[in-house]
Copies of this chain bind each other. A is one copy, B any other.
C-alpha cells in the first residue's frame, strides 16, 4: 500500500490539481509585509476551469477515500505530518518572508500543525467518530417485530477549505480544517490564501506527496491559490462541494454563507469569523493584582500583532480606582509595546481605519497607543468608554482585527450583566477573579456560556489548546455555526453524516457494522457501549 514518501520543497507558482501542476495566465505575487517588496516567483491564480477540474477529481476520489479503512486514512494523515516536517527550513524561511511572523511563532505553529495531523490520525484509529450503533432485531416483539438496525457515520462529501492569513500553517493548507475533513474521509480542495502562496504551495506539495505515498486517489487533495473573491465563490458554488471550512473576516464568511445558502443544494459553511472575546475583571482580582493583569493583558493583546481570533478586544470592569490603576498600567505597557509587522498592508490599513473609527465614536477616548516604530508595524491601542455608552452603541462591540482593545467601565454589576446580555456571540469569554469574586462569577458563568464557546478563568484567551475538550467556536457572529468547533478532535463531526442499515445481509454490511467488528470499534449495542479489549 504505502510507497516511499518523496517531498520536494519546490515553489513553482503552480495550481495543484490532484497529481498535476497547472499554470494560468493570471498571476499574482506574495509581498514581504515588513518591507512591502514583492517576492519571487509569480503565482498562477486558479480560475473557474481549475475549480471545475479539482472538484471533478475530488468527486472521483470520494468513493474510495470515504470508505478507506482507519489504518489507511490514519497512515495517510501521519504521512502528511511527516511530509510537512520534511519541508524543513525552506518552509519556515518562506513563511517568515511572506507573513512577517517571527521564527519562533512559525516553528511553534508548524509543530502544532504536525501535532494536529497526528492527533486526527489517532482519532481516526480510535474510531469513535464512526458512532457505530447496533440495535439487534427483535423478531418476536409485538405488535410488530423490530428490524436489525445498524448506524454509522460516513464522510459528507468533498470539502472546500479556505486558508487563513493569520495561521499560514495551522489554519491554512494542511491546517485544522483540512486535517479534520481528511480524517472524516472527505477529499479536500483548498483555496490558498494569497498572502502566503509560497508557503501554501510548499505544504500543498507535501500533502500531494503523502497522497501518492499512501496509494490514494490523487483527487483526495487539490490546491487552488488566488487573490480573487470570485475564485472562492466558484469553489463554494460547485455542486460537488458538500461543506466549507473558513477562517477569516466576517464579511468574507457571510459572503460565502450567502453563496452556500443560494445553491440549488444548500451546504453547511463552518466559518470562524470575528470576536472581541470579552474579559471580565472582577473586583477582587482587580484589587489584588491590577498591575499583573495589565501586563498579562497587553502581552496577550499584542501577541502576533493581535492577529488572533481569540484576541482580547473587550475588557469590562466596574468603575473605580482599581479599574483606573489597571488602565494606567495597561496604558503604560501599550505605549512601550514593540509593534510587529501585520500580515498584509491591507490588514494593517483596515486595522488603522478600525481604530480611528472606533476612537471617533461618541463617548470613546484613546487611553494609549504604542509609541515605538517598527517595519510594517501596527502600534497597539487601548480605547475607553463607559457601560451606558457601550450599551447604547452596538458598534462598540465590533472587532478591530489587530492589537486594539476597548476597556468598558461599568457602573455596577447590574450593568455588567446587561452588557453581557447585549453582546453578540463570541469565541471566548474570560473571567479574572479571586476567591471573593466567586459569588459574583457564579451568576456570570451561565450567562457567558450562552454567548461564547469557551469560558476561561484567570487566563488569557489567546493560545488554543488542540485537545478533545477544546471548543473553538461559538454563537453567531463569532462563527456561522455555533454547534461545532474548528479546533480539537470534535471538529471531525462537522464533516460526517449518519447512515442506517436495516436488515442487511452480513455480506453487504459496511465493515464497521459487521458482526465480527473488523475495525475493533467501541460500539453501542442495544443502547449500551460495548468496548473491545482486543487491541
Per-position contact with B for A77-115: 1 when CB-CB < 8 Å, else 0? 000000000000000000000000000000010000000
- Is A531 in contact with chain B by the CB < 8 A criterion? yes
A433 to chain B: which residues have CB within 8 Å? Answer: 505
CA distance A134 to B470 in the complex (A): 9
State the oligomeric state as a number of copies.
2
| B508 near A146: Cβ-Cβ < 8 Å | no
Instruction: Say whether A496 faces chain B, with CB atoms less than 8 Å apart.
Output: yes
Check A469/B63 contact, CB under 8 A, given A456-B503, A483-B156, A502-B454: no
CA distance A498 to B489 in the complex (A): 12
A470 close to B503 (CB less than 8 A): no
**Residues of the B chain whose Cβ atoms lie less than 8 Å from the Cβ of A450:** 62-63, 157
Closest 7 A-B residue pairs measured CB to CB?
Answer: A471-B500, A149-B469, A151-B469, A261-B261, A454-B500, A456-B502, A133-B469
User: Is residue A135 contacting chain B, with contact meaning CB distance below 8 A?
Assistant: yes
Contacts A144-B463, A457-B503, A465-B146; A446 near B498 (Cβ below 8 A): no
- Interface positions of A from 459 to 507, Cβ below 8 Å from B: 459, 463, 465, 467-471, 473, 475-477, 480-485, 490, 496-505, 507
Asked if A498 and B508 make an inter-chain contact with CB atoms under 8 angstroms apart, the answer reads no
> Which of A171-179, A196-204, A521-529 is the contact stretch?
A521-529
On whether the beta carbons of B484 and A471 are closer than 8 Å, the reply is no
Report the nearest B residue to A439, measured CB to CB.
B507
**Any chain B CB within 8 A of the CB of A358?**
no
A504, B504: Cα distance in complex, Å: 48
A441 contacts chain B at the CB level, 8 A cutoff = yes
Specify which of B441, B480, B507, B508 is in contact with A508 (CB 8 Å cutoff). Answer: B441
A295 at the interface (CB under 8 A from B): no
Question: A261: which B residues are within 8 A, CB to CB?
Answer: 257-258, 261, 266
Is residue A68 contacting chain B, with contact meaning CB distance below 8 A? Answer: no
CA distance A457 to B147 in the complex (A): 10
Are A134 and B505 CB-contacts (below 8 A) given A261-B261, A498-B453, A499-B449?
no
Could you say which of B135, B457, B507 contacts A502, with CB atoms under 8 Å apart? B457
> Are B482 and A156 in contact, with the CB atoms below 8 A?
yes
Whether a CB of chain B sits under 8 angstroms from the CB of A407 is: no
Q: Decide yes or no whether A354 CB sits under 8 A from chain B.
A: no
CB neighbours (8 Å) of A490 from chain B are 151, 498
Please determine whether A265 and B502 come into contact, CB atoms closer than 8 angstroms. no
Question: Is A455 an interface residue when CB atoms closer than 8 A count as contact?
Answer: yes
B524 touches A468 (CB 8 A): yes
Q: What are 18 contact pairs spanning A and B, CB under 8 A?
A: A62-B450, A67-B446, A126-B527, A144-B463, A147-B465, A149-B470, A151-B469, A156-B482, A265-B477, A266-B476, A438-B507, A454-B500, A454-B502, A455-B502, A456-B504, A473-B498, A485-B500, A529-B529
In the complex, residue of chain B having the shortest beta-carbon distance to the beta carbon of A148: B469
Q: By the criterion CB–CB under 8 Å, are B455 and A501 in contact?
A: yes
Name the residue on B nearest A444 (C-beta): B508
Chain B residues, Cβ within 8 Å of A268? 481, 483
A501 to B465, alpha carbons, bound, how many Å?
A: 12
